[in-house]
Structure formats: C-alpha cells, structure tokens
Amino acid sequence: MAVNWLLMCHGLVTLIVIISFLCGQWPIFQGTPIERLHHFITFGAYDYFLRFVGFVFGDKARRLVIYLAIIGATYYYIVKSSFRYIPGYYLGEVHKYASLLAVGIGIVLFLLTSFSDPGTVKAGNVSEYLLAYPYDNIIYTEKECSTCKIPKPARSKHCSICNRCVARFDHHCGWMNNCIGEKNTRYFLAFLLWHCLLCVYGAIALALIIAGRFKELRIAYILTVYYGVENSFSSLTPHVAQWLLNSYNTQFLLMVFLVIVSLLLAGFFGYHANLCRSNTTTNETFKWEDYISWQKKLNEARASAAALKASISGMSSEAKRPESKFKSFFRRSPLEDTQVVAKENKYDKGFFRNVFEVIFPLSTRSSFLHTKSKPS
C-alpha cells in the first residue's frame, strides 16, 4: 500500500511540473502556484544555474558547460534506465553504439557552430565582401561602421557582443555564444536538424523498448487471461497505463521530454530553413518589417494629405449639388487607394542557388579570394 501511495505522489508531482512548464503562462493559472512554479522552472532556476556555471567556469565556457550538462544528463539517464533492455524484442545491440555516435556528432556540430568564424569583415577582406553583397539601396545603403571604421558591406552588421562586423549577419546566438553569419549558418542549421532527429531517434527508441517489454512480458495476455480484463482497447488502456507508470515511468518521462524538445527544434529549424530558401536572414526580416511599416505610414500620410487638399479645394469652389447618402456610403476611402508596399529581395537568386550559397559560402570560394575592388 505504501508503494502505491509513493507512486501516486510521484505521478502527481510529475504531472504538476509538466503542467507548470507547458501551461503555466495560461490566463487560467495567473496568480496561482502553477504560474510561480512555471516562472521558477523557465527563468528562476535557469538564471541561478547560469550564474553558478559562470562563476565556476567563466562566462565564455558557460554555454558549452550547460549544453554538455543537458545532453550528458539526458544520455546518462537513458543509458542507466534503458540500456539493460538492449538488445530487446525490437532493438538490436547496434543501437548502444549508434546512440553514442549520434550524440558525439551532435557535440561536434555544437563546437563547430560555437567556435567557427561566422564571417568576420576586416580591412583586408572588406573590398571582396562589398562586391559579393552589393547594396540594394532599400534596407542597405553605403555607410561606414562607426566602430570598426571600415566600409560596411550590405547584409553585414556590427555585433556589440562579439565586437566585430559579421557578413550576412543572421543573429547572435546566446546558446552558441557566437554570431550566426555567412560562414557558419550551415553548421547552425546542421546542428538544429541533427539534434531534432536525435531527439526523435531517442523517443522512438524508448517507445520501442517499452513496446518490446510489453511484448516480452506478455502483459496483454496476463491481463486478459489471469485477471479477466476484456480484450479491448478501452478496457486494457487504464491497466497498461498503470503498468507503464509503475515499471517504466522514467522511460516514459524521458520520451515525453524528447518529443517536446524535438518539436521546438523542428519549429526553429523550419523557420531558419525557410529564411535560407529565400536568401533572407533574421536581421533582414526585422529590417524589412520596419521598412514596409514605414512605407505604409508614408503612403497613408500622402493619401490623407491629398484627400485634405481635395476637400479644401472643393469647399473653396462653387457650391455643388450635395452628394446623396447612398453614394457617400459606397464611396471608396482615399486610404484604400494607397500603393501596396512589396518586399523586393535583391539577394533572392532562386531556391537552389540560395541553398547552395548557404552550404558553400561566397567567401570560401576561390573566385572570392581573387576578386579585386573596382577602381573609384
């Protein structure tokens, strides 16, 4: 009886933690312990952990230590709780080594993204970058970097954190403690895709381990023959769930965690893959939003001024026959005739060329190194 109460308390605490993590920001939980627990899990505990790691290892190595801690702890719990069931009914011995290799590749991709040059613009290569990325005179115009004191190529940005100009700047990634730019966008995308697939692989492997144990222990047979449970999905489900939480709750929770992380990584990868498809960066997305918003306001202001001018000229002219209410009701507003602002991405060269440019950056090609600046 004591064991059952312990399992119930464990399941209840786990459920509260999961609900707090996923749903703590919902309006229904505002001002409740669920909201406070959500804040502690997503911000408070993480902030204290960051400070502790930064104090022990230093700020530069902090993100690396956190990443290794997360992936190492997850892999350790999977090994400790599940490797004794491999080989099993559905999984062979090879998955012990395949999983270790997959984690190792993920760490290599993290290191490549974190410590590789994102495409630093210097005085020695600025002329080549100026020719590789011409100004579109819309969101990029000719100017000088006020910090580096060199011409600022189009699509570049000076990162205040790294204190350098980065070609084809996308964003500064706090997890990597590095900028994502022209040279390492490919590593960043590979990192996201690989870790998404790694989480999917881990979740499927854990599900197959549980399914294999269900098959090997003949749980359905025991429930139907020895306990008289009806052989139907609705009847077996609560008993199977009880067996799962009693015997394999660690594997189940790890599987849920991996599924949630894989969905987050899939969304993040999909967003950046779509940017690469159109040869756009995160930084340019915000620039275009600001430009289009400004142009819309400018067009509306021009239309309003034109309408006001026409109204004043009409009042000063000879009196006209008053317009009927029916016509005035269906008359178009001058704001409806404002010009539609369209995004004109000069750097979009088509799907295949855009993807090729990400995989093989312009600065890594031999033609880039032999480019000479045009005479002034």
- Residue found under tokens 């159109």: 278
* CA distances to 4, 5, 14, 248 from 1, in Å: 5, 6, 20, 19
Residue 186 near residue 359, CB atoms below 8 Å:
yes
Neighbours of 140 (CB within 10 A): 19
Element (H, E) at 375: none
* In the chain, beta strands by DSSP E: 120-121, 157-159, 164-166, 171-173, 178-180
- Alpha helices (H) along 147-281: 185-216, 219-225, 233-247, 249-277
* CA distances to 121, 303, 353, 364 from 370, in Å: 16, 50, 21, 11
**Rounded CA separation 21/42 (Å):** 7
Query: Which of 376, 352, 365, 360 has the alpha carbon at shortest distance from 128?
Result: 365
Write out the catalytic residue numbers. Answer: 173
Between the two ends of the chain, the Cα-to-Cα distance in Å is 88
Between strands 178-180 and 120-121, the pairing is: unpaired
Query: Which of 233, 231, 238, 241 has the alpha carbon at shortest distance from 210?
Result: 241
